[in-house]
Amino acid sequence: MRAIFHRHFLAVFPNIFFWLVVPVGGVSWGVYTWLYPGILETPFLWLFEGYLFLMFIIVLYKVIDWYADVWILTDRGIIDVRWSLVMLDTTFTEYHDISAIQFSQETLFDKMFRIGDITLHKQGDEMRVAYMYKPDEIVESIQKELHFEHESHDDKATPEMHIYVDGFRQNHEMTRYKDGYRYMPRPSNEEDEFVEKVRSQK
């Protein structure tokens, strides 16, 4: 594992803010002020405390849900993890399947808080993730991995291609070996002479 990237916290902040303000703050203020001012001295207090505890669990779940959705960069590719209470969805994309990657920041607000949408172009498909934190660093990290992958692929390229001229292997000459013949490398400066010699024998 090389790096882990999350969506920006502002992607989930409005949702958390709503649950803290309306179901927790608003309901608590309404109960203590209007509906049941003396609830602290009644047996029904535990019901209201149970309600507040449930709201706390919901807010905690939303924070965990945000934190568990990640991009994991490995030495072979990218793991896209989407987590929820009832399912876990993971998608693995190898670097050699990625054709392009880009990010966009459409507003000044996005640039100020380093928020951006990242689009990963794959062969015949694309994957888009919104509200990623530090999208420029994510794209730069992936581009480095892609560059490293391409260099590794070039190092593992097929051996040198040999050219045959009228059935003879270029840069080699046929010499007797045991009961037959074999091709032996010749000095590279004889290449042109060899080709002309073969062609003149036609």
Q: What is the pLDDT of residues 53-104, one digit of tens each?
A: 999 999 999 999 999 999 999 988 999 999 888 888 998 989 888 888 999 9
**Confidence category of residue 38, pLDDT binned at 50, 70, 90:** confident
Question: What is the model's pLDDT at position 198?
Answer: 56
Instruction: Name the token pair of 142.
Output: 């992936």
164 has a pLDDT exceeding 60: no
**φ/ψ of residue 130, rounded to 5:** -95, 155
139 HSE (CA, 13 A, CB side): 21
**Residue whose C-alpha is closest to residue 72's, from 55, 87, 92, 58:** 92
The pTM of the full predicted model, rounded to 2 decimals, is 0.64
> Under a CB-based contact definition with an 8 Å cutoff, are residues 127 and 120 in contact?
yes
Mean pLDDT is highest, among 24-33, 111-120, 191-200, for: 111-120
The domain segmentation of the chain, as residue ranges, is: 3-68, 164-200
**Confidence category of residue 175, pLDDT binned at 50, 70, 90:** low
**Residue whose C-alpha is closest to residue 13's, from 109, 144, 146:** 109
Residue 133's identity, in one-letter code, is Y
**Confidence category of residue 178, pLDDT binned at 50, 70, 90:** very low
Instruction: Name the token pair of 69.
Output: 């959705």
